[in-house]
Structure formats: structure tokens, C-alpha cells
Chain A
Amino acid sequence: MTQFLALLLRNRLAAAGGIVLLVVVVLAVLTPVLPLANPDATDTANRFQPALSRAHLLGTDHLGRDLLSRLLWGTRLSLAVGFAAAIFAATLGAAIGIIAGYFGGRTDNLIMRGVDMLMAFPYILLALAIVAALGPGLGNALIAVAAVNIPFFARNIRGVTVGLAHKEFVDAARLSGLGHGRIILTEILPNVVPVIVIAMSTTIGWMILETAGLSFLGLGSQPPQADLGSMLGEARSALITNPLTSIVPGAMILVIVMGINLLGDGVRDALDPRLRSGALTRPMPATRVDRPTPPPAETEEGGAVLALSDLQTQFHVKKRVYKAVGGASLAVRPGECLGIIGESGSGKSVTALSVMGLVASPPGVITAGAARYDGQDLIGARYETLRRLRGDRIAYIFQDPLATLHPLYKVGDQLVEAIRCHRTVSKAEAWQRAIDLLKQVRIPNAESRASSFPHEMSGGMRQRVGIAMAMANDPDVIIADEPTTALDVTVQAQILSLLNDLRRERGLAIVFITHDFGVVGQLCDRIAVMYAGRIVEQGPTEAILTTPAHPYTRRLIACVPELGEGRRKLEAIPGLPPAVDRLDPGCAFAPRCEKARAACLTGEIALAGSGQRAVRCLFPETEIPSEQSA
């Protein structure tokens, strides 16, 4: 609660709205004791006095009545009617909603049909019909406004009640023999009240506007009694000659409703946990780059098509800094497949996404390093440069193709778009190419499948579409981010062999991200093992699988079950990967490592080794010669 209030106050607009509203309400409450003229005392000799005139701070209206006094009395009336209508609507609506939600079945069906029926009206028609039947008057306008808002409350509260009606504590109450009335009052109602209050705070502004509207039309308060709406309605005939009498009540309605809206927004924001964490921000077209140090010089990597050097990517959430990638150096040559392996949260995906600026930003920031494609640094490159390379020279295949393909476009059209982003070809040509691509990834009936939507395909099929899309422009590099994780084993094998063929046929470089050593063994020439945002071991697949050097790699391999053998003990790694917002100096794996010693926790440990193999460990499992060993 205090946290909620603090949030509300931190929202300056909401606080301002609340203060304005408070002032208006206090004035309205104090109106009877303020030294004001009689609001209904007419004085036709002094009609339309200007503002700040003698004895009339805001002037007078068309009957010579004091405008300030009428304004305050009118405000009082409008607020009272608005609140009364809100309470009326909330109480009745909640009662209907609770009954429908609690009893369910036929009662629910019948009530909700009726509610739907009422909601089929534009609200004013219903309000007008009610006023027509009851006759004009403020009380009747109040009833009409409350009545048209009942369905809204009924529906909201019913939804919440349905969720509660089958909770354990309600069942327990029922079993202990409590009657329905008691259960509703003691178990359901207390849980529903907050929802009612929130719904009220969002609708009360509307109710004040609606009653003012009915009064404006002459169907609400009747002379001489006046709320803000009827003041405005009466002033309308003199709008052109004496605008002040219209502006005063109109501006007051505006101030009240705006205050309520500001406050209501603040309440909603403070209650919505997603906004609280700042998660509801949209990612920018490219990841933000804030690189205080100049990028490291280009290293001679023997014809690498893509080379990362000391890449660092962080997530800045409020005051916390999560070092998702803490300096990664990798290189991949044409025709080569590099596997990046690690647990969830080890930074392997972020590394891959950083290359093309696809890390969601905010909160992502690339803070150091370089990612060179053909010698050109992509970090900090202009957006247009990045866009031209994306999908054309460096393409991505993502995990979970149901979420990564656009649900509302046909897969053929999504392929066509990928082609036409980079080449000027006619739609028909591109469509033909799309079908060819689908055939290449061995989708049967490619011609008709191109017209399918993603949700009409199986998971394996969708992943093939994802691969086809990555292949659309014959890229030099494909970065595959766990492309087979969501698939079953047989489909996984097919996809892997497909990627393998493509690589051999076209000299494609593949960066393959996975947490699965089995997959790595089938496809990758070399492996980089990541832990807590850093590469802890790197080398040829065969060498790492047989003689892992880093204790972490060894433990990770020990986690992989083997078919048929059953001799080796499966060992889970105790503990969890560290939180990357407060990494201690030294080896990040040390707290989970059985070989850790004091030296492991002091200072930076370098990735030692040379050429093919390297390890970031003071006490490696296998000695790696510091000179070329491959």
C-alpha cells in the first residue's frame, strides 16, 4: 500500500490531478459556508456583468445571478450527482455480476444475455429512453446515467467472481455449511471490492460528463436549480454575445474530468505491475550503442567472414546493470559451423542478437567491442547500413517459429517480403522464388503451402519456413538461435541435416546457438562454451567433447544422458548460474565448482591458450599447451 502511494506520488501528473480534484471537492463541500451571493437571486438590471466587476468576481449571467456562486453550487451538484450515479451503478452492477458469477449456469446465462442486450445500445439511447419514460429532472437523469453504466460493472465483476467462485477457500466455506448469502458476503465480496473501486475510478469521470450532458440537453436539472451542464445549456443562447457565462461552467467540467482522468491513470499505472517494471517499452529499430572506448583493432582471424572481438552488451534496468555479455570474441569462416553452447541466461542469444543490433533496446545497450562482417564494424553502424545487411548477408533463424513468424501474413508473403526488401523483383518472380525456397527446405506441396498461415502448419514445417526465410537472399552468415529446441527429435534431425547440406553446398557460415551437446556434435566444427556472459572455453568440437578443459564444460557434458549405456552417472550441476548484475571478480563458475580455490576469486582470469583451443580457468581439467595444438 505504501509502495502504491509512493508510486502514485512519484507520478507528477497524477499528483497534480489529485491536488486539483481535492481543491475542487473541498470548495464544493465548503460552498454552503462560503460568503457567496444567493445563486438563485435574480437581478435583471445587472445582467451579463463582466468578470471582476463590483461584488461579482466572475460577473453575472443572463438573469443577473452571481456566476461564481452559481458555479460553486453547480459544481457541488454535479459532483454529488456524479458520485451518486457511480455508487448506484457500482452497487447494482456488482450485485448482478456477483450473482451471475457465483451461481453460474443458467442464472449466469440469463443475466449476461440481458447485460449484452443493454450493451447493444449506444448508451445515450438508453439514457434518453429512460428519461423519456420518467420525465426530465435531475433525479431521473441520475437514474438514467447509473442504469446505462450498470452493464459495465456487472460484466467486470462477473469476470472476477467467476474466477473466485471455484477457489479452494470458497469450496471450503461451502463444505463447512455456510449459506450462499454468507459466502458471498464474507468470502467473495471482500475480494471483489478492489475491482469495484478501480472500475469506479475509471468511470466516475464519464458519469459526471454524462449527467452534465443530459442537463445540457435540458433533460437533467430543471431551473432554477442548476448543475454545470444546465448552466452551460442555459448560457448557450447567449454564447456569441456573452461567452463568459458559457466558458465558466464548461471550463469547470473540463478541470474536474481532467483531474479525475489524471488521477485514474496514475492509479492504473501504479497498479499495473508491467508498467512498474518498465517492461512495457517498445524496442527501437536497432540496439543502442554506447561505446566509450574505441573498438579493438581488427585481428587477423584467417579469413573470418564474421568476427566478434570483446563484445559487451548490457541491460540497463532502472539503476541496475546486467552484464549479459561481458566481452565475447568469436570468429567464423565461410563453410564453417560454430556452436555457442551454454545454459539459459548465459548470454549466448544476446551475443548473437547484438551482431545485427537486434537486442531489444531499451533496456539493451552495447557498451564495447566490435562485430566485423567482411572487415566492416557493425556495432554503431548507421541504421540503414545495418538494415541493408540484415537478412541479406547475415540472416537469423529463431527459436519457436510460431512466435517468430507473423501470424497474420501468409508464409509465402513473408518470404516474398524478405526477398523484396533487398532486391527489386516483381511480386510474381518473388512468389516463384518463395516457392523454390520452400521446396529447397523440403516442404511438400510448396505451391499450396505458400498460401498457408503459420498457425495452419506444424512446428517442424514452420521452422523450415524460418530457414527458407533466412536463405531467401543467399546470405554469407546464418545465425541460428536454438532453431531446434522447440521441435521433437526426428524433426530436429531433419532440420540439422538440412542446415548441414546448405552449408556444404553454398559455403555458408553458421553460428549455431544451443544448450544441447548432442546437437552440437552433429553439426558444429568448433564450439564456444559460454557462462555468465563470457566464453569459458573454445575449441574444435571433437576435442572439447572428448577432453573438456573447463570444469564447467565437463559438468555440462556430464549432464547429457547417453542412450543405452546407463553406466555413467548423470550429474546435475548444483546451484544456479549467477545473476549478471553483480558479478564478483574472478571466475563466475567458482561458487559451483568443486575445484575452486581462493585464487579463482581474485582478479581477472584470461582466456588462455592459442590457436584452436582456449580455456578460461586456472586449474583446467586438461592442460592446453600454450602454443598451437590442433
Chain B
Amino acid sequence: MTGYILKRLLSAIPVLLGITVIVFLIMALIPGDPALAILGSYATPENVAKLNRDLGLDAPLVARYFIWLGNMLQGDFGQSFALNRPVLDEVLERFSATLLLAGVSFVLCAVLGIAAGVISAARQYGMADKAITFVVLLGISIPSFFLGMMMILIFAVDLRWFPVSGMKMAYGGGGFVDVARHLVMPALALSVVATGVVARLSRGAMLEVLRQDYIRTARAKGVGEGRVIWGHALRSAMVSIIPVLGIQAGFVLSGAVYIEMVFQWPGVGRMLVDAILKRDILLVQGGVVFVAACYVLFNIAVDVAQSLLDPRIKT
């Protein structure tokens, strides 16, 4: 197993390098002069040239890539000019907030989605199945940012159950309960689409598995229906559900950008949007590379989980 994990980690290296190349190339497309953007339109050509030299922007493209990559490998993602602080510090701080939001949403989508899919399949064409199918259809059709706004209207403004936005109270807040209260709505809003997708897929996977001969064997042994469904069938269905969970993690991370805007959540998505509008290139580059790298590592964890579940996978 350790060997398998190592092998997967090694195979991630070219992917990670590829990501840095893609991000770097996209950013190199930017028209105009970043130094000019930093200094403003009243800068003298001498100052622009000097800043370009200081930033290393006068070097050829390939050299610039390797300087950037080398620095990142040493933990130096550069300096955000708009925030005037190291990119890595900002990204780490913001990413921890995103991780909390996306992590909780991901767990929600996995648990709720699988449960809904399994119940739906076990009660195929019954009332529960129809109700779940309808809610799932609604869930995958509603834009998460619109859902978030509606939730604010109903649960924060009208019913006053939860705070409207932010991650903690401005004064005297920040304890576990405070953060949890702030987390409920954004996490739910973020998880809805992914829950729908997972539920659909789980239903299909369960229907496929329930027709297998070994399910009949389990029943012939006298295994109770609860264990047949939630044990024998779900375990097999997980083999096709887990890879989708890996993909959904990417969707949850993506959706977090919108939800962070709606709920003023101080996460990495809002940071990126602000950085784009301010043309804070190094912050965008660093943020994208960092999050993408985390996603790649997460998917390795998914593969490992898959191989633990299914002994037929060669490790």
C-alpha cells in the first residue's frame, strides 16, 4: 500500500508541473505591462523599466518560468502588490477558510447524496424515489449563488435563524458555535448541486448493483434487507461512487467561489476574484497553483481510498 501511495505521488509530479506551465502561459498572455498596472498611468518610462527589471520581467519567458517555479519550490510565491504581503501568507489564510466551507459541504454532499441515492434506488418508483428525484432535479438546476441569496432572504432576514454573512461576528465572536452558525447556510447552499449529482449517480450505481447475482446470494443466505442494501449493495456501488466524489470535490471547490461572494466568506475564491479585478497577477497565479495542487493531492487520496475498498485493484 505504501508503495502504491508513493507511486501515485510520483505520478502527480508531472501533473503539478503541467499545472504551473498552463497557469504561467495563460498569465503570460496578459496584454499590457504589469509594471505599468502597478505604478499607474502617470509613471515615467524610466520607473516602469526599473520596476520591470526589479520584478525580473525583462528576462525571457522560459527563464521567468523557471525563476517563478524555483521560488515557489522554496516556498516563495512572490509578493501581492495590492495587499503588499507575501502571496503564500494570504493564500494560506484564505484557503483555510475555503477548506472549512468546502470541506463541510463536501462531507454533506457525500453523506446526503449517497443516502438519498440509496433510498431512491431501494424504493424505486415509490413515493420516496419520486420525491427525491424531483428535489435532486431542482438541486442540480438551481444556480448555487441564487440559492444562497434566497436562503439569506428566508433564513437570515425573515426567520433570523442564521447570520446573513461573514465567517464570524465582527466583535467578540469567533468561537466554535459562532463559526458553525455562520457556516450552516453557505455550506448547505454550496453542497446542493453536488448532492444532487451524487444522489443521481448513487441511485444508478445501486440499481446496477442490486441486479447482480451476489445480491441474490446474500438474500438467499437470509441476510436482512437493510444489510443487503446498506452493506452488500452499497459497498459495491461505492466502487463507482468514489471516483465521482473526487470529481465533485472539484465542483464544490469551484462553487465555493460563488458562495464566498454571496455570503462574504473570506475564502480563496473571493480573494481570486478581487485579485483579478485588481490585476494582482502573482496573487492569482499563486492562488490557482496552490488550490490546483491541493486538488490533485486530494484526488490521489481518493484513488487510495478506492484501492482500499476494492481488493481487485492492483496496488
Question: Is A250 touching B232 in the complex (CB atoms < 8 A)?
Answer: no
B212 within 8 A of A: yes
Stretch of B40-48, B147-155, B179-187 lying at the A interface? B147-155
Q: Is the CB of A132 within 8 A of B284?
A: yes
Is the Cβ of A254 less than 8 Å from the Cβ of B312?
Answer: no
Bound Cα distance from A283 to B262, whole angstroms = 45
- 8 Å CB contact of A250 from B30, B137, B149, B284: B149
In the complex, which of the residues A240, A281, A408 contacts B310, with contact meaning CB atoms closer than 8 Å? A408
> Are A407's CB and B312's CB within 8 A?
yes
Residue in chain A with minimal CB distance to B272: A128
Q: Does A261 contact B (CB under 8 A)?
A: yes
Nearest CB of chain B from residue A79's CB, rounded to whole Å:
15
Q: A217-B257, A217-B258 are in contact. Are A128 and B295 (CB under 8 A)?
A: no
Stretch at the interface among A184-192, A391-399, A562-570: A391-399
In Å, the complex CA distance between A472 and B223 comes to 13
What's the nearest-Cβ distance from chain B to residue A74, in Å? 14
Give B15's nearest chain A residue, CB to CB: A120
Contacting residues of chain A (382-419) with chain B, CB-CB under 8 angstroms: 383, 387-392, 395-396, 398, 400, 403-409, 417-418
Our pick among A130, A282, A472 for the contact of B206 (Cβ within 8 Å) is A282
Point out the residue from B208, B220, B225, B279 that lies within 8 Å of A356, measured CB to CB.
B220
> Distance (Å) between the CB of A416 and the closest chain B CB?
11
Pick from A205, A232, A358: contact of B220, CB under 8 Å: A358
Complex Cα–Cα for A216 and B149 (A): 12
The chain B residue sitting closest to A403, CB to CB, is B213
User: Does B138 belong to the interface (CB within 8 Å)?
Assistant: yes
- Residues from chain B with a CB closer than 8 A to the CB of A232 are 143, 145-146, 149
A125 contacts the other chain (Cβ, under 8 Å)? yes
Question: Secondary structure at chain A's binding surface: helix, strand, loop or mixed?
Answer: helix
**Bitwise interface map of B from 175 to 219 toward A, beta carbon under 8 Å scored 1, else 0:** 000000000000000000000000000000011101111111111
Please name all residues of chain A whose beta carbon is closer than 8 Å to the beta carbon of B223 when the two chains form the complex.
391, 417, 421
The answer to whether A240 and B153 touch across the interface, beta carbons within 8 angstroms, is yes
In the complex, B62 has a CB within 8 A of chain A: no
Measured CA separation A403–B142 after assembly (Å)? 41
Interface residues of B in 210-242 (CB under 8 A from A): 210-225, 228, 232, 235-236, 239
A499 within 8 A of B: no
B284 touches A128 (CB 8 A): yes
B57 close to A (CB within 8 Å)? no
Contact B143 A258 (CB under 8 A): no
A132 touches B222 (CB 8 A): no
User: Is the beta-carbon distance between B309 and A136 smaller than 8 angstroms?
Assistant: no
The chain A residue with its CB closest to the CB of B24 is A129
CB distance from B261 to the nearest CB of A (A): 6
CA distance A250 to B151 in the complex (A): 13
- Residues of chain B within 8 A (CB-CB) of A205 are 141
B257 & A257 in contact (Cβ 8 Å cutoff):
no
Q: How far is the CA of A129 from the CA of B26 in the complex (A)?
A: 7
- Count of A-B residue pairs with CB < 8 Å: 226
Say whether B56 faces chain A, with CB atoms less than 8 Å apart.
no
Bound complex: CA of A132 vs CA of B215, how far in Å? 52
Q: Does A453 contact B (CB under 8 A)?
A: yes
Give the chain B neighbours of A236 by CB distance below 8 A: 149, 262
Q: Quick check: which of B77-85, B107-115, B246-254 contacts chain A, the rest being far away? A: B246-254
Interface: B99 (CB within 8 A): no
A260 to B292, CA, bound (A): 30
| Known A133-B26, A216-B261; contact A282-B124, beta-carbon cutoff 8 A | yes
Residues of B within 8 A of A239 (CB): 149, 152-153
**Would you call A407 and B214 a contact (CB within 8 A)?**
yes
**Nearest chain B CB to A449's CB is how many angstroms away?**
15
Q: Judge whether A421 and B23 touch: CB under 8 Å.
A: no
B19–A121 contact, CB under 8 A?
yes
Chain B contacts with A in 284-301, Cβ cutoff 8 A = 284, 288, 291-292, 295-296, 299
Q: Are A406 and B232 CB-contacts (below 8 A) given A134-B29, A217-B257, A253-B143? A: yes
**Are the CB atoms of A116 and B15 closer together than 8 Å?**
yes
Interface residues of A in 489-522 (CB under 8 A from B): none
A391–B210 CA distance with the chains assembled, in angstroms = 19
Q: In the complex, what residues of B have CB within 8 A of residue A223's CB?
A: none
Q: How close is B65's CB to chain A, nearest CB, in angstroms?
A: 15
Residues of B with C-beta under 8 A to A131: 276
CA–CA, A12 and B143, complex, Å? 24
Query: Is A218's CB within 8 Å of the partner chain B?
Result: yes
In A281-302, the 8 Å CB interface with B consists of 281-283, 285
* Whole-angstrom CA separation of A392 from B220 in the bound complex: 9
Scoring B residues 11 to 27 as 1 if CB is less than 8 Å from chain A, else 0, what string do you get?
A: 00001001100110011
> Provided the pairs A387-B222, A403-B212, A404-B213 are in contact, do residues A128 and B207 lie with their beta carbons within 8 angstroms?
no
Q: Please indicate the chain B residues that have their CB under 8 angstroms from the CB of A418 in the complex.
A: 221-222
> Looking at the complex, which one of B121, B152, B292 makes contact with A282 (CB distance below 8 Å)?
B121
In the bound assembly, the distance between CA atoms of A232 and B143 in angstroms comes to 11
Interface residue from B22, B29, B217, B255 paired with A398 (Cβ < 8 Å): B217
Q: Considering the complex, which residues of chain B in the window 241-284 have a beta carbon less than 8 Å from any beta carbon of chain A?
A: 249-251, 253-255, 257-258, 261-262, 269, 272-273, 275-277, 279, 281, 284
The answer to the question of B140 belonging to the interface, with a C-beta cut-off of 8 Å to chain A, is yes
Does A280 count as interface, using CB distance less than 8 angstroms?
yes
Question: Given the complex of chains A and B, what is the CA–CA distance between A356 and B221 in angstroms?
Answer: 11
Q: Does B75 contact A (CB under 8 A)?
A: no
Set B23, B137, B253, B281: member contacting A262, Cβ < 8 A: B137
**B146–A123 touching, CB < 8 Å:** no
CB of A360 within 8 Å of the partner chain: yes
A213-B143, A236-B262 known; A133-B30 Cβ under 8 A: yes
A422 close to B (CB within 8 Å): yes
B311 interface residue, CB < 8 Å from A? Answer: yes
**Docked-complex contact B141 and A122, CB < 8 angstroms:** no
A240, B149: Cα distance in complex, Å: 9
Instruction: Verify A124–B124 contact, CB threshold 8 A.
Output: no
Q: Among the interface residues B143, B222, B277, which one has the most CB atoms of the partner chain A within 10 A?
A: B222
A9 to B87, CA, bound (A): 56
Which residues from A are CB-within-8-Å of B255? 124
Specify the chain B residue showing the minimal Cβ separation from A257.
Answer: B141
A390 to B225, CA, bound (A): 12
Report yes or no: B236 in contact with A213, Cβ–Cβ below 8 A. Answer: no
Pairwise interchain contact B137-A258, C-beta atoms closer than 8 A: yes
**Does A117 interact with chain B (Cβ within 8 Å)?**
yes
Asked whether any CB of chain B lies closer than 8 Å to the CB of A56, the reply is no
Complex: A258 Cα to B137 Cα, angstroms: 7
Contact between A120 and B19, CB atoms less than 8 A apart: yes
Write out the residue numbers on chain B whose beta carbons fall within 8 Å of the beta carbon of A113: 18
- Chain A residues near B116: list those with CB within 8 A: none
Smallest CB gap from B217: residue in A: A404
A455 part of interface (Cβ distance < 8 Å): yes
| Residue pair B217, A122 in contact (C-beta under 8 Å) | no
**Contacting pair A455 B311 (CB below 8 A):** yes
Given A122-B292, A391-B222, A455-B312, is A405 in contact with B214 using a C-beta cutoff of 8 Å? yes
Given contacts A217-B273, A281-B207, A453-B311, contact A125 B292 (CB under 8 A): yes
Does residue B122 face the partner (Cβ distance < 8 Å to A)? yes
Instruction: Name the distance in Å between A265's Cβ and chain B's nearest Cβ.
Output: 8
Instruction: Tell me the bound Cα distance from A472 to B221 in angstroms.
Output: 9
Asked if A469 is an interface residue, CB under 8 A from chain B, the answer is yes
Further 19 A-B residue pairs, CB within 8 A, beyond A117-B22, A129-B22: A120-B295, A122-B292, A132-B284, A135-B31, A136-B276, A217-B257, A232-B143, A232-B145, A246-B149, A247-B150, A250-B150, A254-B143, A281-B124, A387-B224, A395-B220, A398-B216, A408-B310, A409-B235, A453-B312
Please list 15 pairs of residues, one from A and one from B, whose beta carbons are closer than 8 Å in the complex, sorted by A's number: A120-B299, A122-B292, A132-B27, A212-B143, A213-B143, A217-B261, A247-B150, A254-B143, A280-B207, A285-B228, A358-B216, A398-B216, A408-B235, A421-B222, A455-B311
Interface residues of A (CB under 8 A from B): 113-114, 116-118, 120-126, 128-136, 205, 209, 212-213, 216-219, 232, 236, 239-240, 243, 246-247, 250-251, 253-254, 257-258, 261-262, 265, 280-283, 285, 356, 358, 360, 383, 387-392, 395-396, 398, 400, 403-409, 417-418, 421-422, 453, 455, 469, 472
